Copies of this chain bind each other. A is one copy, B any other.
Amino acid sequence: MATKATTIPLAQHIFSRLHQLNCHSIHGVPGDYTLRALDFLSASNIRWIGNANELCAGYAADGYARAAGMARLTTAAGPHKALTPRVGSLYTTYGVGELSAINAVAGSYAESVPVVHMVGSPSRKQWKTGACVHHSLSDGNLGVYTEMAKHITCAQADLRCDEAQEAARIYDHALEQCVRQSKPVYVNMPSDIVSAPVPAALLDRPLDLSRPTNNAAEEEQVISTILCRIQAAENPLIIADGLSYPFDFIAEVNTIVQSTNIPTMCYNAGKGVVDESLPSWEGPLTGQTELSATTDLALLFGPLLSDTNTAAWSAIPDPGICISFGLDTITVGHRVYHLHSKPLLEKLAGRLKAMGREQGRPKDQISHDPIRSPPHGSAICQDDFWARMSAWLKPYDTQLLANGTPLIGGRDLRLPTPTQVIASGIWCSIGQMLPAAQGVAAAKRDLAIPGRTILFEGDGSFQVTCQALSDIIRYRLDVTTFLLNNGGYAYERWLNGMEAEYNDVPAWQYTEVAHFFGAPTNSSDYPVISRKVSTWAELEDVLADEGIAEGRGLKMIEIAMAVDDVPSASRPGLKRAGEILRAT
């Protein structure tokens, strides 16, 4: 019988910790500063996903973390003693690699996604001497990239230690920050320390993921205030938003909605947080409504109050009547309490449940508007498309909405429960969602999370990070892509330059992309289907195809749409934004 090694290489400690946090795959691109550590992946029970480039790796790690956060959908519900362990991770090389990924990591920071960014860097000796190494700026200042990373990560673990055990300690602390703050962390891994030994037993000491607690008296006081406000409100409103996902508010928000029957809406990024079959579900809040303007109490869960997420802030009720739940702040009107929302919300939800009747309908009875059936030969327009897709979705599906028209159109989907929607609330980086879908699919496989990974993509977005499709194929991941091909940046056209060449993108042969990237043909293990549809009848054919609906393997459905087509409800807002742009 093999005895347990008393020491392991530092890299094995680093990677094994990720596994403990439900990250079973590391994304990245190898480089000479990272190569050595990669030899310790298999001992750590970690899979390497070699992306075609680092930006894709960064977005994939973000997607992985978001999906991993949903693993609880399939595990026992109810209060847990520890924080949900879930991170995404990427490993890039010094300078060139890490900077190529920095946009994705900054996006994780802006949207509170816990991602561990490991960077393989020069040896400790080279750091000390300020050697003129490749990938440096040639000025001997090797720390410049760490400085840059400080702006977009919540903690930096600098492993330039004399002792590897000290490096392990620093690293562990950063990981705890990553989970606790739900933000990315940066790990500087000099190439010569990764194989240095650390005690294997360090891994037996669990990371401190204990749930934060609040001052009981203050918490109780705030709960009482909130309960009073709810009871006194004549026109209360619940607004779910995107940070409810990373802050793990989903169960509590839904309990509160069910128990109070308060009319409930969501901002773009909060799509999917609330069970849309509940009777008090009022749909997305896409601008000022009578309700949002006249409400005397708005409960905001996980708000991300950017212009794009709130119809240029017009959909935000008066702050004086808002109660907002952030990660570790609760804002009641203009007063800010430094309290952790999660434990408070658990108690609040429990009280409301005990006080109220269960108002929700059975979850499997979601009602759809009757599906419009345009003439068979007619072109597919945005308004009809999103309504039609609603009936095609299934519980446990994850929908990714690319920035552009899918982000706008997707909010009109009627979603089954449970579900997850990945829709950017503030970062809105074009090209993010295809690699994010790769990461979601990887997490679903690693963590046995059920449901399809469905990407609603634009052609302009697809071109930014197209090689992510090669990564999806390489690792035989299950992704269904609806590529809305409107010949350019339709969203931007409505802002400025409706006919301008700068809003065009070239015409690619999207139905050939899987073949080009080396997808197998006629594989029963990894079925690949590519289709192009231009008419309603062709779309119906695709949606009726069981081979497509099963979601296994790669499905690439290109949908031709008019260059200027955006959901009609969004047109006035886009026009107004364009006028402001030109007026100044």
Which A residues have a C-beta under 8 Å from some C-beta of B? 29-32, 35-36, 38-39, 48, 50, 52-53, 55, 95-96, 99-100, 102-103, 106-107, 109-110, 123, 131-138, 144, 147-148, 151-152, 191-193, 195, 304-309, 426-431, 463-467, 470, 473-474, 489, 492, 495-497, 500-509, 512-513, 515-518, 577, 581-582, 584
A496 (CB) vs chain B CBs: closest residue: B35
CA distance A581 to B34 in the complex (A): 10
CA distance A48 to B505 in the complex (A): 13
Quick check: B133 and A496 within 8 Å, CB to CB? Answer: no
Quick check: A30 and B502 within 8 Å, CB to CB? Answer: yes
Once A134-B426, A426-B136 are accepted as A-B contacts, the answer to whether A96 and B100 lie under 8 Å apart by CB is no
CA distance A582 to B36 in the complex (A): 7
Cβ-neighbour of A518 out of B137, B489, B509 (below 8 A) = B509
Once A50-B505, A147-B151, A582-B36 are accepted as A-B contacts, the answer to whether A429 and B466 lie under 8 Å apart by CB is no
Q: Number of copies of this chain in the oligomer?
A: 2
Quick check: A32 and B584 within 8 Å, CB to CB? Answer: no
Subset of 19 A-B contacts with CB under 8 Å:
A30-B497, A30-B502, A32-B577, A35-B497, A39-B496, A39-B497, A50-B504, A96-B427, A99-B106, A102-B103, A133-B307, A134-B426, A135-B426, A192-B584, A463-B467, A474-B506, A507-B518, A509-B515, A516-B516
CA distance A563 to B133 in the complex (A): 27
Quick check: B426 and A132 within 8 Å, CB to CB? Answer: yes
Q: Which residues of B contact A581 (CB under 8 A)?
A: 32, 35-36, 191
Quick check: B107 and A96 within 8 Å, CB to CB? Answer: yes
A464 (CB) vs chain B CBs: closest residue: B53
A511 to chain B, nearest CB (A): 10
CA distance A290 to B193 in the complex (A): 36
A327 to chain B, nearest CB (A): 12
Once A138-B426, A463-B52 are accepted as A-B contacts, the answer to whether A470 and B308 lie under 8 Å apart by CB is no
Quick check: B429 and A96 within 8 Å, CB to CB? Answer: yes
Quick check: A38 and B500 within 8 Å, CB to CB? Answer: yes
Cβ-neighbour of A137 out of B35, B100, B110, B138 (below 8 A) = B110
A473 to chain B, nearest CB (A): 7
Once A96-B428, A502-B48 are accepted as A-B contacts, the answer to whether A110 and B136 lie under 8 Å apart by CB is yes
Cβ-neighbour of A195 out of B50, B131, B518, B584 (below 8 A) = B584
CA distance A202 to B473 in the complex (A): 55
Q: Which residues of B contact A36 (CB under 8 A)?
A: 496, 581-582
A187 to chain B, nearest CB (A): 18
Once A152-B137, A512-B516 are accepted as A-B contacts, the answer to whether A103 and B100 lie under 8 Å apart by CB is yes
Among A96, A467, A489, max chain B CB count under 10 A is at A96
Once A463-B470, A584-B195 are accepted as A-B contacts, the answer to whether A306 and B138 lie under 8 Å apart by CB is yes
Q: Which residues of B contact A466 (CB under 8 A)?
A: 52, 466-467
Once A148-B148, A148-B151 are accepted as A-B contacts, the answer to whether A134 and B307 lie under 8 Å apart by CB is yes
A359 to chain B, nearest CB (A): 33
Among A106, A309, A431, A515, max chain B CB count under 10 A is at A106
CA distance A427 to B35 in the complex (A): 18
Q: Which residues of B contact A31 (CB under 8 A)?
A: 430, 492
Q: Which residues of B contact A29 (CB under 8 A)?
A: 430, 464
Q: Which residues of B contact A500 (CB under 8 A)?
A: 38-39
Quick check: B470 and A502 within 8 Å, CB to CB? Answer: no
CA distance A31 to B228 in the complex (A): 46
